[in-house]
């Protein structure tokens, strides 16, 4: 169906000239506004924030950290380090890890929860993490751990000797002080 002959009374529709965000204002350039999705370790009770500057708006998933690593042996290898910060309080962590064994074309998927307290200078693990482990047979000896070191939470993965494994970690958290 043709749209020819349709007119808009009162002229062109109103077009926004600025976009106000949680932190700043973005103004389109030549009617173009750039909107990006990013993640951040920033602590925000809502888990999401927005920021605007120039002609860009960022939609930010907060309380989140990611890491990747490749292993080729059974040595525990750090995939993610999360700094707890100088404010004493308690963190609740949830996360998942996916692993792809390039050598055997096999995979593993893992989830975990854990709690840590910080003095502001040292990490104290409240309890051992709970794990869910889903592995194909070729991945049966792969593993991961969560631990505290200095004032950091460390997620380490353990590959398999002679196997190239790609790992990807996502961590989300809540914090109270």
Q: Apex CA 91: angle with CA 85 and CA 94, to 5°?
A: 120
pLDDT above 70: residue 11? no
Which CATH number is 65-176 given? 2.60.40.1680
Mean pLDDT of 140-148: 96
pLDDT at residue 5 tops 90: no
Indicate the pLDDT class of residue 4, thresholds 50, 70 and 90. Answer: low
Residue-level pLDDT at 31? 87
How large a percentage of the chain has pLDDT more than 70? 93
What is the widest separation between alpha-carbon atoms in the chain? 72
Convert 114-140 into a string of H (helix), E (strand) and C (coil).
EEEEECCCCEEEEEEEEEEEEECHHHC
d(CA 38, CA 121): 29
User: For position 2, what pLDDT does the model report?
Assistant: 55
CA–CA gap between residue 41 and residue 60 (Å, rounded): 10
pLDDT tier for residue 14 given thresholds of 50, 70 and 90: confident
Quote the pLDDT of residue 65. 97
Residue 147 to residue 76: CA distance in whole angstroms: 12
Better pLDDT: 166 or 127: 166
Ranges of CATH 2.60.40.1680 domains, the chain = 65-176
Question: What does the pLDDT look like over 70-91, one tens digit per residue?
Answer: 999 999 999 999 999 999 999 9
């Amino acid at each position: 169906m043709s749209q020819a002959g349709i007119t808009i009374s009162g002229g062109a529709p109103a077009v926004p000239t600025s976009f106000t965000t949680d932190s700043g204002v973005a103004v389109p350039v030549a009617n173009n506004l750039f909107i990006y999705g990013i993640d951040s370790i920033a602590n925000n009770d809502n888990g999401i924030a927005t920021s605007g500057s120039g002609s860009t708006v960022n939609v930010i998933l907060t309380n989140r950290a990611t890491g990747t690593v490749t292993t080729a042996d059974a040595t525990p290898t750090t995939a993610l380090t999360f700094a707890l910060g100088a404010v004493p309080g308690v963190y609740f962590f949830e996360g998942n890890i996916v692993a792809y064994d390039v050598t055997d074309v096999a995979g593993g998927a893992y989830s975990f929860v854990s709690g840590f307290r910080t003095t502001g200078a040292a990490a104290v693990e409240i309890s051992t993490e709970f794990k869910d482990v889903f592995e194909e047979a070729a991945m049966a000896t792969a593993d991961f751990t969560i631990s505290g070191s200095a004032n950091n939470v460390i997620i380490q993965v353990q590959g398999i000797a002679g196997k190239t494994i790609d790992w990807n970690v996502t961590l989300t958290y809540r914090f109270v002080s």
